[in-house]
Amino acid sequence: MQLAAANAMTADSSEALDEMGEAMTTWCTVGGEALIPSLLVEQAGGYLARDDLEKATTCLDQAFESMERGQLLALPEALRLRAELRMTVDPTAKADADAELREAISVARAQGAVYSSLRAALSHRRLLGVEGGDLVDTALAEAVAAYGDATGFPELSEARVLMTAEGRRVRLG
């Protein structure tokens, strides 16, 4: 399973993502369903990055179905990706994307998942501009504060640039 997932994240073709799907099917047959929603969301992200909207949609649908059984760890990222997919398919679907991204931020914050909250806030900003208001601004500020001086990933750098460029001053907690 791990090899299939690693190949899917490093290969340039959709074939590795398809192999990941086959590995997940095998994993489920032996009772290993706990990580499946997260893996399906990762697989959907890979397909979306490769503009395979049909397979991305299928993976997200399967992920949401799996999450109905209580595996909610991947919910913020699934909501974020569904908003990204929605806007790719229909750029006029701003209200639905806004609602999904706001829910993603709220769920991530409730889970204490700063990175997921950061990614959802950045997607909101990228897809919908500054329309996000306090919720998005606060999520960005909380992530910047939580990670302190860390510099290891581009999303944090992007959040810092946005916060500085927009002159946003959000009071935390």
pLDDT digits (tens, 9 = 90+) for 60-72: 999 999 999 888 9
The residue among 163 and 91 whose pLDDT is bigger is 91
Interval 13-19 mean pLDDT? 78
d(Cα 34, Cα 147) in Å, to the nearest integer? 28
What pLDDT, in 10s, does the model give residues 109-143? 999 999 999 999 999 999 998 666 789 989 999 99
Is residue 9 predicted with pLDDT exceeding 90?
no
Among candidate residues 73, 102, 131, the one where a domain is terminated = 73
Residue 164 within a domain: yes
CA distances 17 to 23, 116, 150, 168, Å, are 10, 22, 31, 39
Q: Work out the percent of the chain whose per-residue pLDDT is above 90.
A: 53
Split at pLDDT 50, 70, 90, the class of 171 is very low
100 and 166 share one domain: yes
The reported pLDDT for the residue numbered 71 is 84
116 and 51 share one domain: no
43 and 111 share one domain: no
5 and 51 share one domain: yes
**Residues with Cβ < 8 Å from 155, sequence gap 6 or more?**
115, 118, 119, 122
Whole-number average pLDDT of the chain: 85
> Which amino acid belongs to residue 54?
E
Among candidate residues 73, 106, 137, the one where a domain is terminated = 73
Residue 120 within a domain: yes
47 and 105 share one domain: no
Give the DSSP letter of residue 12. S
The reported pLDDT for the residue numbered 24 is 75
Residue 79 within a domain: no
d(Cα 24, Cα 4) in Å, to the nearest integer? 9
Residue 85 within a domain: no
100 and 135 share one domain: yes
**Residues with Cβ < 8 Å from 119, sequence gap 6 or more?**
76, 77, 80, 155
* Domain boundaries, position 154: 94-173
Q: How many domains does the chain divide into?
A: 2
Asked if 56 and 48 touch (Cβ cutoff 8 Å), the reply is: yes
109 and 63 share one domain: no
Q: Taking Cα atoms as reference points, which of 38, 24, 26, 121 lies closest to residue 80?
A: 121
What pLDDT, in 10s, does the model give residues 75-101? 999 999 999 999 999 999 999 999 999
